[in-house]
Each structure stands twice: as structure tokens, then as C-alpha cells.
Structure 1
Amino acid sequence: MSIELTAADGHTLSAYTAGPQDARRGLVVVQEIFGVNRHMRRVCDDFASQGYAVVCPALFDRTQRGVELGYGPEDVTRGRDLRGTIDPGKTLLDILAAAAALPPAAKRGIVGYCWGGTVAWHGATRSSAFAAAVGWYGGGIAAARDETPSCPVQLHFGETDASIPLADVEAIRQARAGKTPPVEIFVYQGAGHGFGCEERGSYVAKDAAQAQERTLAFFAQHL
């Protein structure tokens, strides 16, 4: 189901919602650079089937409404161009609006993929809205690794991700070593960027399943 959200600066945006509205646990699911497309709706529905109330905000609405891209080269270029037009501070307002749309009694988490993985990290470090955060292959996390999360965080990376070198992953690990709250980091051998998306050529079913199992266990522990 689609709903309308209003961010703190008055911007209105659409969001995909799923799951029980009386859920005790809620998730903000953050899109890749391809919009709230079929894959992202499937991700939301999968979490909803586990009993979560889910809100997935359309972050591109700040520039263009109704964006749903595929995964070809031209889609990658278009998605990157759109992402480049959006102020990260405004994106934070949008995910906070999504969090506010979750059931009032629900304990809130955030999970994001690709660009959304970085946004989920920002949600953990630049707000106190969430009790747990998970990021899948967030390419901008290394640049913000010295920011302190307000909640436990779990991160997933592919070993052969051409856009996120293992040196970046190690830099994140070192930045958070021995600090609280904890940051769990998992690296999937042989996996590339987007290994969790069933519509991409880089999809690895076994790694996607394991990362999802770890994600669900993490949220079960902290939400």
C-alpha cells in the first residue's frame, strides 16, 4: 500500500507500507539508487511476513516522483544522477518521517541497501530514532566511519565489491573496534555489490539468505 509522508521541512513524499499496523516491531526500509521498485517492495513484503510493520520512503521524490528503475547500465547512471541531486540532510528528514509513520508502540529499526545502506548508517549516527540499524553494501559508510551510532549496527559487504574495497571495510572495523555501541561486520567471500538483489546479475542466493538470516536475528535481539 502507498501512503503519503510529510517531512519536518514540509516536503511530501510517497512510501510503500506493509505488515501489521499493530506490530510491536517496525522497520524503515531504505531503497537502493533504483527507487522503490519491485525488488524493494519484495524486500518490504518479506519483512512484513516476519511480523514487522514496514515503511519504505521514496527518497527520489525530492527530485522526481514515481521513480522505479531497473538494473541495466542506463538505470545505474540515472540512479546515480538522481542520488547526486539530493542533500543527505534532507534524506535524513525523509527517513525520520518514515519512522514516525510506524505504529506508535513499535520498537523501530532501519535497514538499507546500496545507497540505502549508507542512509541506514546515517540514521544510526545522525539521529536517535532507531534501536537497531542494518546496512547492506553501503558505499558511503567508510567516509562516515568516525561518526558514533546511537544504536547497535550490523553491516554486510561483498568481498569482490568493485565499489567498496576491502580496505574500506577494514577502515570501518578499525574505527569501531572496542567501542560501543557495537558494530557487527560480515564479509561474503566471492560476493559482489548487490549480492542480495534477486534481479541483479551479482545476486548470490546463499549469501543473500545468510545475510537475511543474520539481519532478522539482529533485529530480533534488539527490537
Structure 2
Amino acid sequence: MQPNWIKLLRDEDFNGYLSLPPAGKGPGLVLIQEIWGVNAHIRAVADSYAQAGFVVLCPDVFFRLSPMLDLNYDEPGTQKAFECNSKLDVAQAVKDLCVAVDVLKNRPEVTDKVGIIGYCLGGKLAYLTAAASDVNAAVCYYGGGISNYLDQAQNLTQPVIFHHGEHDDHIPQSDVAKIKSAFAEHDNATFYDYSDAGHGFNCWGRPGMYHQPSAALAQGRSLAFLAKQLCF
């Protein structure tokens, strides 16, 4: 793999972490961070998808607030993360992510289709960016706040999968039910619920939240889905 940072906007301090697959080319995947920035965990997740053959780009979502944010999951890092999240202009972030999608699509390493995947804040932004762009597929991991944007469900016509932990203390099951209801008459959405998992179950950087069996199952499902939608 060949990871490095690239500039996404010529006149703005907007960068992204790019991880190339061993073959040097493949389908594209925009991977959207949690509130802790494009930190070591998110870069490792990106590298794992690059190892699976995808050209992965992680845009710096908070660049307008605190460029190149790279926080730990400790108390100071979490305090800064929530501060940035509270100040984030979601509509502007979606516009920035649409730029990132276009940049990735035009990279010479990207052979064909482009998908999007996100975690926590990134799950919500993956949902909204898929609704606002022409990505070919979307994966949303426990996207907090999606239930506040259900008017966008009609605009998300690509295949999409949602991962939710049944013990998520940030996303109540009533909100998950609302999301499912919004897609009830559409055949493009698949929902996976994890009975033993809570919020952030994919993040091994947070031992109190990480749930390995659910994380492994969800990643396998995500990889199978992305292979079907982007590689064939």
C-alpha cells in the first residue's frame, strides 16, 4: 500500500488521506471520519480497505475549523472532537465531500465506480453525500442524526447499507425505526442490526465500545456489498 496526503482544493487548505491498493489501482472509496478527525484509527481502517483492493480517500472534514485534526480517544481529544462537531456546518461539509468524490473519481488510479462509507459523524455525512452526489453505493455505520434528515431519503437512490448496534446509547431504536420506515417503499436499502453491540462498535481504539464479533461481521458485509456494487 502507498498511503499519503493529497490536496483536494487548489485554493483551500482541504486535504485528504489517500491509500492505494497493492495493485496500484481499483474502484474508489471515500471514507469519512468520526469526530476525532482523520486519526490513526481512521487511517488504519482506510488502509484495510485499500488492502482489499480499493483506492481509498479520507477527506479532512474539519479543515474549515481545525485542519488536519488527529485526536486521541482520551478526555482532551474527545473534548476537542465534540467542540468541532458542534461547530460543523453540515451543509458545507456535504459540499466539500462532493468535491472529494469528484477528485477521487478523476484520480488515474480509480478504474471505474466510486462508493462512500462513513462512521458515526461520517455515517451521517455518507448518507447526505450519497443523496447529493452520484456515488454508486453507500455504507453508513451508526450515523448519528440521520433521523433528522429523512427528507433526503428520496434522493438516495443508490444501493445503501446501514449498520446499527441495538445497544447504541447515541442512536435510540426509535430513530433506527424511523430510518427504516423512510426506506420501506424503496428496494435500495439494507439494514443490519447487531444485538450485542453499541455505538462505535467498529472502533478498536475505544475498547469500551469496540465489539469484535459485530465489527468483523459488519466489515465482511460491507466488503461483500462494495465488491458487488463497485467491482462488477
Q: Look up the match of 2:9.
A: 6
Q: Look up the match of 1:84.
A: 86
Alignment match of 1:140 (pick from 145, 149, 156)? 145
Structure-2 separation of matches of 1:37 and 1:117: 16
Alignment match of 2:56 (pick from 47, 54, 57)? 54
Please state whether the residue corresponding to 1:108 is helix, strand or coil: strand
Q: How many residue pairs align between the two structures?
A: 219
Structure-1 separation of matches of 2:90 and 2:166: 27
Alignment of structure 1 residues 9-158 onto 2, 5 Å: 10-20=11-21, 23-102=25-104, 103=107, 105-128=111-134, 130-147=135-152, 148=154, 149-158=156-165
State the shift of 1:22 in Å.
5.4
Conserved 8 A contact 2:163-2:192 = yes
Alignment of structure 1 residues 154-173 onto 2, 5 Å: 154-173=161-180
Q: Percent identity?
A: 38
Structure-1 separation of matches of 2:180 and 2:220: 21
Structure-2 separation of matches of 1:4 and 1:98: 10
Please state whether the residue corresponding to 1:3 is helix, strand or coil: strand
Unaligned stretches of 5+ residues in structure 2: none
Return the TM-score normalized by structure 2: 0.89
Conserved 8 A contact 1:23-1:106 = no
Structure-1 separation of matches of 2:78 and 2:43: 19
Structure-2 separation of matches of 1:144 and 1:114: 15
Structure-2 separation of matches of 1:139 and 1:41: 21
Structure-1 separation of matches of 2:43 and 2:209: 19
Return the TM-score normalized by structure 1: 0.92
Unaligned stretches of 5+ residues in structure 1: none
Alignment match of 2:218 (pick from 180, 186, 211)? 211
